[in-house]
Amino acid sequence: MANNNHREITGAILDEESELTLGELCRACGMPAERIIALVEEGIIEPRGSRVRWRFSGICVRRVRKVYTLERDLGVNLAGAALALDLLEEIERLQARLARLESGRE
């Protein structure tokens, strides 16, 4: 008897050049538009274009998900999540730079 219990995983690779509408960002992050707008107002994510035609980079998906995790797991508010996110990203940049230095590429 053949086992047909496999799942197909689909998705898209999102980067800085990728663009999503507000609706697409909401679906990708599982959040309502009001929540995304609050993140924009807090400066956590920055849309391109006018509010009527906002476009978000693929990087925004990562930032929104990280903020949600910080709020859920640590109970921080939006301002605290924004600060924590900035610090985490700075750590990532410094670690990447250190790795380049250690490999002799910088």
**Burial of 60 by CB count in 10 Å (0-12 exposed, 13-18 middle, 19+ buried)?**
buried
d(CA 14, CA 1): 39
pLDDT at 7 (0 to 100): 53
Average pLDDT, the chain: 86
Q: What is the mean pLDDT of residues 30-43?
A: 94
Q: Report the amino acid identity of residue 58.
A: G
Per residue in 57-78, pLDDT (tens digit) is 988 999 999 999 999 999 999 9
The domains located in the chain, with CATH, are 19-102 (1.10.1660.10)
d(CA 16, CA 53): 18
